[in-house]
Structure 1
């Protein structure tokens, strides 16, 4: 089954807070998280295989591919750890914020130098206690700025001269100049101001430099031109899309994670795909995911 927009259900599920889909070109598989059930998941479209790794911690907040095959980087509560998909071995890379802080890691993205740009967020969804960081391959953590409620929409332009970032609960997406060689951000400018009516969540950039942004509680994914104007709106049969990425052999499949969080029983009955992994085929391809670490 698919919608009039061409959206189909790729993996039926019940993710409380599905998030952070990433396409691994090496294995031709998609990885993503259920943040609130602390689950890492992998889907191999060619075989239909769906693997799930369960963790005992409270949150799995962010995910990145590693340059070393068969491993990923996970944001576990407030620490970053490497995880071996084959053996289950874990190794702590760094503690981003102190244990006991009422925050957690959230959305992040790697640059071509193998660094992770990642934010933290307030667990109460109201206070500006989160921050945004650059984490180097050796585990050094560099705070960029604070006063963040819910960090999201971390995405880089194809030339890596722009970085996008949203504070979901401030209803704004900003754009920063990025010097990728130095690993520094320029001044911020407003890219999209939702005026308190839209919650910008996870995003990715396609090969034309357009930003695809999931709008949580808005039932849509929006494609923004580089100047911030709306280019396309993809309506969805679920209220809570959370993040997007391009995958498939030609990077023309847009995968969309979704959430059941905040939905009533009546809404869940009316939205059977809520908490599932959705997909839609598009004409414009995406970009290969950049990986964490050194060669």
Structure 2
């Protein structure tokens, strides 16, 4: 598969959270450490950046106009024109020792937020992760917050398979991808079990689902994406030219272009020319569409 860097020489410290807005033909993602949210117009190739005074782990469009961002200490509404933001809800708030990490919207428009022990210092330096104290939250459009999981090391991978009634969720620290029974109508989850065990090609980071129900999982430290069949079997391993791919999303008019975020953080002199790049490649299967936050 021929991956190309999308933004020439631009490299991100911790690129994450790609989201494709089909209506606007726009790709969104973040640089967590830099505290930046980004958008790319697939039509014009132009980009926009919004900066924050703290880490930001996700940016998604709202059905009621504007954007929703996951900041380190809670969720906020972002006005894309002015760059101003207003607090929405704080599932944990300040003082928990945690920060936001993985975040995505389910097919019904609810926002799901995974947290983890904060590992980013005030100057962007790396801090050790010593406890599995993160959690998973479900946020409804009216701002109601429900904790769905606890004792998570590093929250990652949030994907919903409507056809099979499943939620996929990973704990990178444990090296495991879990699958739950998921009720789309109520948003409830149950019956957690291991979907994919630790693998020698890196640790599970963010993922995307294709129309065949296969999970494309970016492997931190593994320089690849693993495509898992619905039964947990490894269908293929796709090499990528970065050491730390962080997540992926399907985009384009036919949803057959895979965008991959990556990180340069922690690599130092071992970083290659592509580490931290936003990558793009054509694929042979369409992905499932992203959903805007219903608030």
> Against the structure 1 CA distance between its residues 97 and 42, is the aligned structure 2 distance closer, same or farther, given a 3 Å change threshold?
same
User: Of residues 53, 56, 61 in structure 2, which corresponds to 1:56?
Assistant: 53
Within 2, Cα distance between the matches of 1:132 and 1:262? Answer: 26
Q: Contact 2:201 / 2:219 at 8 angstroms: preserved in 1? A: no
- Residue 213 of structure 1, CA deviation: 0.5
Q: Contact 1:73 / 1:81 at 8 angstroms: preserved in 2? A: yes
The C-alpha deviation readout for 1:196-222, integer Å capped at 9, x for no partner, is: 763100001011111000000110011
SS at match of 1:169: coil
> Against the structure 1 CA distance between its residues 160 and 68, is the aligned structure 2 distance closer, same or farther, given a 3 Å change threshold?
farther
- Residue 88 of structure 1, CA deviation: 1.9
User: Of residues 185, 207, 218 in structure 2, which corresponds to 1:203?
Assistant: 207
- Residue 276 of structure 1, CA deviation: 1.1
Report what 1:292 is aligned to.
293
Report what 1:88 is aligned to.
83
- Residue 163 of structure 1, CA deviation: 0.3
How is 1:170-209 mapped onto 2 (pairs within 5 angstroms)? 170-194=174-198, 198-209=202-213
Moved more, 87-96 or 214-223: 87-96
Q: Contact 2:202 / 2:219 at 8 angstroms: preserved in 1? A: yes
Within 2, Cα distance between the matches of 1:195 and 1:113? Answer: 32
- Determine if the alignment matches structure 1 residue 260 to structure 2 residue 264: yes
Q: How many residues are matched?
A: 285
Q: Contact 2:259 / 2:278 at 8 angstroms: preserved in 1? A: yes
Q: Contact 1:133 / 1:144 at 8 angstroms: preserved in 2? A: yes
SS at match of 2:112: strand
User: Of residues 227, 236, 241 in structure 1, which corresponds to 2:240?
Assistant: 236
Within 1, Cα distance between the matches of 2:294 and 2:43? Answer: 28
Report what 1:114 is aligned to.
109
Q: Contact 1:158 / 1:209 at 8 angstroms: preserved in 2? A: no
How is 1:150-189 mapped onto 2 (pairs within 5 angstroms)? 150-159=154-163, 161-189=165-193
Within 2, Cα distance between the matches of 1:196 and 1:223? Answer: 15
Q: Contact 1:214 / 1:241 at 8 angstroms: preserved in 2? A: yes
State the TM-score, normalized to the length of structure 1: 0.93
The C-alpha deviation readout for 1:28-63, integer Å capped at 9, x for no partner, is: 111100000000111123322122111122x10223
- Residue 126 of structure 1, CA deviation: 2.9
- Residue 72 of structure 1, CA deviation: 1.6
Q: Contact 2:117 / 2:133 at 8 angstroms: preserved in 1? A: yes
Within 1, Cα distance between the matches of 2:107 and 2:42? Answer: 27
Within 1, Cα distance between the matches of 2:162 and 2:225? Answer: 20
Gaps of 5+ in 1: none
> Against the structure 1 CA distance between its residues 178 and 112, is the aligned structure 2 distance closer, same or farther, given a 3 Å change threshold?
same
Q: Contact 2:112 / 2:136 at 8 angstroms: preserved in 1? A: yes
